[in-house]
């Protein structure tokens, strides 16, 4: 009788393990199916979000064409006459909490930033997330393609190159400036002359 008691807990454990494996397999299958069904819709929504942001930054653009140059995905912004009026790209890099993804819209010779939009950020609520606010983003409008960050709010530098850090979120502010500067320097050699 003692042998039967020792066997029962093992078979009970085996039943639990098998049940959990079956539930995990079914859940994984459902998740994979949902992902495959929604993948294209998610891509489409992301593309729409990018185009909407570009058109809000560069209102004279009436059409946005996605182009691939080398390994870079860029967006040509065309006016109503079909002339290229700007260039946009996505820059991403580490922030204080996690990855920050920034849409940068520039003039065609990459000397002037027309504006930015923070596409993704999970910075600290109430502090670092202020990089997503218009007060911070508007500093990039018509800014030089070579940026620096000022941590002193009373310091007034050249409007075209100096970006004021968000109080309490210097790391996040510096991250945005570094991400933009690095991406511009990275893609500039591939875009001479553009378009």
Domain boundaries, the chain: 52-191
33: pLDDT strictly greater than 70: yes
Look at the block and give the residue holding tokens 């009436």. 62
State the average pLDDT over residues 37-47.
93
How far is the first Cα of the chain from the last one, in angstroms, to the nearest whole number?
Answer: 85
pLDDT at site 141:
92
Q: What contacts 192, CB < 8 A, 6 or more positions away?
A: none
State the average pLDDT over residues 55-72.
91
Task: Give the CA distances from residue 34 to residues 29, 37, 41, in Å, rounded to whole numbers and listed in that order.
Answer: 9, 5, 11
15: pLDDT strictly greater than 70: yes
54: pLDDT strictly greater than 70: yes
pLDDT at site 124:
84
For residues 190 and 72, the answer to whether their CB atoms sit within 8 Å is yes
pLDDT at site 1:
46
Distance CA 80, CA 61 (A): 7
pLDDT at site 2:
52
For residues 151 and 166, the answer to whether their CB atoms sit within 8 Å is no
Residues 97-153: tens digit of each pLDDT: 899 999 999 998 888 999 999 999 988 888 888 999 999 999 999 898 888 888 765
Q: What contacts 167, CB < 8 A, 6 or more positions away?
A: 153
pLDDT at site 157:
54
State the average pLDDT over residues 82-110.
93
Per the model's pLDDT, the better-predicted residue between 52 and 7 turns out to be: 52
Range from 54-58, 69-73, 78-82, 171-175 carrying the lowest mean pLDDT: 69-73
What are the structure tokens assigned to 50, written together?
A: 């990018």
pLDDT at site 154:
57
In whole numbers, what is the pLDDT of the chain averaged over residues? 87
| Dihedral angle sign, alpha carbons of residues 176, 178, 180, 182 | negative
pLDDT at site 181:
94
Which of 20-29, 74-83, 155-164, 185-194 is most confident? 20-29
13: pLDDT strictly greater than 60: yes
């Amino acid at each position: 009788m003692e042998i039967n008691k020792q066997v029962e807990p093992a078979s009970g454990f085996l039943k639990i393990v098998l049940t959990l494996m079956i539930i995990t397999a079914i859940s994984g299958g459902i998740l994979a199916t949902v992902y495959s069904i929604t993948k294209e819709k998610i891509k489409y929504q992301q593309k729409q979000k990018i185009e909407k942001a570009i058109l809000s930054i560069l209102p004279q653009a009436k059409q946005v064409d996605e182009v691939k140059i080398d390994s870079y995905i860029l967006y040509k912004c065309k006016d109503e006459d079909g002339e290229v009026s700007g260039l946009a790209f996505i820059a991403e890099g580490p922030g204080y909490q996690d990855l920050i993804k920034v849409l940068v819209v520039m003039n065609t010779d990459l000397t002037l930033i027309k504006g930015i939009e923070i596409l993704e950020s999970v910075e600290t609520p109430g502090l670092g997330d202020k990089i997503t606010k218009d007060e911070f983003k508007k500093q990039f409008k018509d800014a030089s393609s070579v940026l620096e960050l000022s941590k002193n709010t009373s310091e007034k530098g050249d409007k075209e190159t100096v970006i004021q850090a968000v109080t309490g979120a210097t790391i996040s502010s510096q991250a945005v400036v570094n991400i933009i500067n690095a991406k511009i320097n990275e893609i500039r050699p591939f875009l001479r002359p553009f378009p």
